[in-house]
Amino acid sequence: MTSKKFPNIVPEFLSYVLYETQSSRESIEEPSTPNQLLLAEELVTELKSSGLQDAHIGKGGVVYGTLPATPGCEDCPGLGLIAHMDTSPDAPAVNIKPQILVYEGKDVLLNPEKEIYFKEESFPEIKKYLNQEIIFTDGTTLLGADDKAGIAAITACMDYLKTHPEIPHAKICVAFTPDEEIAKGTVNFDIEHFGAQYAYTFDGGEIGTLETENFNAATAFVQIAGVVVHPGLSKGKMVNSLKLAAKLISRLPADQAPETTEGYEGFIHPNKVEGTVASTTVRILIRDHDKAKFEAKKELLKKLVEEIQESEPRAKVSLTIKDSYENMRPYLDQAPKVMEIVRQAYREAGIEPIEEPIRGGTDGARLSTRGLPCPNVFTGGMNYHSVYECIPVKSLEAAADVALSLVRLSSQIKSLK
């Protein structure tokens, strides 16, 4: 299990996942949950021990640290390595119990007491990792590989550089962000303070994947105010906001749902409903890689909301749509050298890049739109935001290898043009 190059990567990863760092969409604090700061403090300590003496927690809980350039590389563009500390609020994440099991080509028993299995039929991707050690949970919580695997890959790389000072490199800028899962990871990210001219988020999926484009994203909130009357006396009077919410959800196109789409296909996804007869709120995610189709989905939702209002004039139905992030592809197209560098880093690590769109978003998308080109590198995990989340040990080590390749190449980059 121990990697010769990165002997501490698995123990460090296992220690990170024990921190309860779920972010919260409902919170107005920065970061959204205080436990993220506990991990941030630990990471500052680790970065300082690896030679990043300026490591500190900045505004909003963002961790920054810099490894100065080696002699002769001071004029090379600064390289950024980024991962996020929070885990998804979409699955249980308290009392995580990671376990390392060898996948032997059959269903994996995760929890004998509760008879929870990781089933090949449901997750056929696992077949690519026959006879490998894989880190699972006990099937009751997510693992946190999204994105503590990214953190582990970066810290393992920094550990390696400490014991191999002979490796030349440009200034290496490290950052760990909070609240990425709730689209707030870069709200307080200070690009100028960070100091990199180009960067890579380590927040991707299976080994070899390289992501240069992501969804355009928005979140819609439908507010429905009904009319409350005692149910025994309500004929012709009551307007049940819950039923109107159900009607709206039933009219969303079945072929534009997460469970029926893949690749470049976008979706309209109701992911939270809260309410009573009197008042109901429906939260709906809108996603598409194509900007025109993205806007068309917004217009469709507006039309459906108007139809619900027209069907029941006594109710009050309103819609608010807030954009979350953009597709980073147009911005990365303006920085082709950044992509050339990462493709070379994959190949120097013995991995052929598999370029594919992200069916989601990353901090890198938001940073790219703000002028810091930032593609997304794999971390090796699977089934994120799920109690069936897992990560092959070799894939995690491979992510650290790519980080190290990027560091080595940074000494050869004189210009990003």
- Residues taking part in catalysis: 86, 180
* Residue 385 labelled as part of a binding site: yes
Would you say 146 is a known binding-site residue? yes
Q: Are strands 63-67 and 56-57 parallel, antiparallel or unpaired?
A: antiparallel
pLDDT at position 93 is: 94
Give the Cα separation of 169 and 413 in Å (integer): 9
Consecutive 10-residue averages of pLDDT for the chain (417 residues):
84 98 95 97 98 97 98 97 96 96 96 96 96 98 97 98 97 98 94 98 96 94 97 95 98 97 96 96 96 97 98 98 93 95 97 92 92 96 97 98 98 93
Please state the pTM of the whole predicted model: 0.89
CA angle 158-159-165, nearest 5°? 80
Task: Give pLDDT, residue 360.
Answer: 86
Tell me the sheet residues that pair with 27. Answer: none
Q: Is 203 annotated as a binding residue?
A: yes
| CATH number of 223-325, picked from 3.40.190.10, 3.30.70.360, 3.40.640.10, 3.40.50.2000 | 3.30.70.360
pLDDT score recorded for residue 163: 95
The domain spans of the chain are: 9-213+327-410, 223-325
What pLDDT, on a 0 to 100 scale, did the predictor assign at position 417? Answer: 85
CATH fourth-level superfamily of 9-213+327-410:
Zn peptidases (3.40.630.10)
